A and B are shown apart, each in its own frame.
Chain A
């Protein structure tokens, strides 16, 4: 085939999309692996964090009857985000409780006001 014919070669349908997916996959694989490596590094670090910590871990292991569940997250950033969200929901629920208390408080105030009013009327 001559050089001028090169443009006549048909490009398969969806080639670019296919390659785009392929690049996405490479990116994803790399990120997962990098994260895994980071995590392993961090865990290894914690093992050498002094004899006391090791002893604590060991004892924790020995004395807990049910096996400790597996960590849900491997990335501390994700774990942090989850904790933050949990706290937000706690705060929200607490808030609704507090509001209710306030409403109840208002009602009590209204009630005592009424009594006071009646009392005042009576005495006057």
Chain B
């Protein structure tokens, strides 16, 4: 009985940790005008892991397949609606202020801004969130892409991704 309680408690904790901001955002903007969205569930990631020969592109020492195996959920929002663009940015800022997310990288170059946040548990990255915005000129209201990944990714794996990006 005790074991069961501990088990359930542990599961609850795992679920609570998993319920991160990406989903909140996703649910909020799903199906809205000018928003295209992608959700890949943990079940689907399980199935991806079973694909026998994940072909790895990009070459080098970096193995994308290994990294993907640590993922268990992914939300993508592609927003091309000026009103939502600023709204999403504000929501992300609010989430960061609540202290769950830690800024990993910020790059502003002309009209494009990239912010990358992570949620870390010890040496493990549990959640990865990228917010990439582009200011459009004139009538084009700009666009923003949010990619949120829940994972159990070792910090070193993320560093490898960063290293491969530098090449």
Contacts and interface: CB of A to CB of B under 8 A. Distances in A.
Contact of A90 (B46, B54, B68, B147): B147
A66 to B, nearest CB: 5
Contacts of A59: 8, 11-12, 15
A96 B51 CA distance: 32
Contacts of B67: 87
Interface residues of A, number: 39
Contact of B162 (A43, A46, A96, A98): A98
B49 to A, nearest CB: 9
Contact of A83 (B14, B19, B71, B166): B71
Interface in A86-112: 86-98, 100-101
Chain A facing B: main interface SS: helix
B35 interface: no
A78 B139 CA distance: 34
B132 A71 contact: no
A56 interface: yes
Given A56-B11, A76-B51, A83-B68, A90 B161 contact: yes
A50 interface: no
Given A72-B39, A84-B68, A64 B15 contact: yes
Nearest to A64: B19
B30 interface: yes
Contacts of B24: 66
Contacts, number: 125
Contacts of B58: 88
B68 A87 contact: yes
A10 interface: no
B105 interface: yes
A11 interface: no
A66 B44 CA distance: 19
Interface in B4-48: 7-8, 11-12, 14-16, 18-19, 23-24, 26-27, 30, 37-41, 43-48
Contacts of B37: 69, 72
27 contacts: A43-B43, A46-B43, A55-B8, A55-B11, A63-B15, A63-B16, A63-B19, A66-B24, A68-B41, A69-B23, A69-B26, A69-B37, A71-B41, A76-B47, A79-B44, A79-B45, A80-B48, A80-B51, A82-B38, A82-B76, A83-B71, A90-B130, A90-B147, A90-B161, A94-B161, A98-B162, A100-B109
Interface of A: 42-43, 46, 55-56, 59-60, 63-64, 66-73, 76-77, 79-80, 82-84, 86-98, 100-101
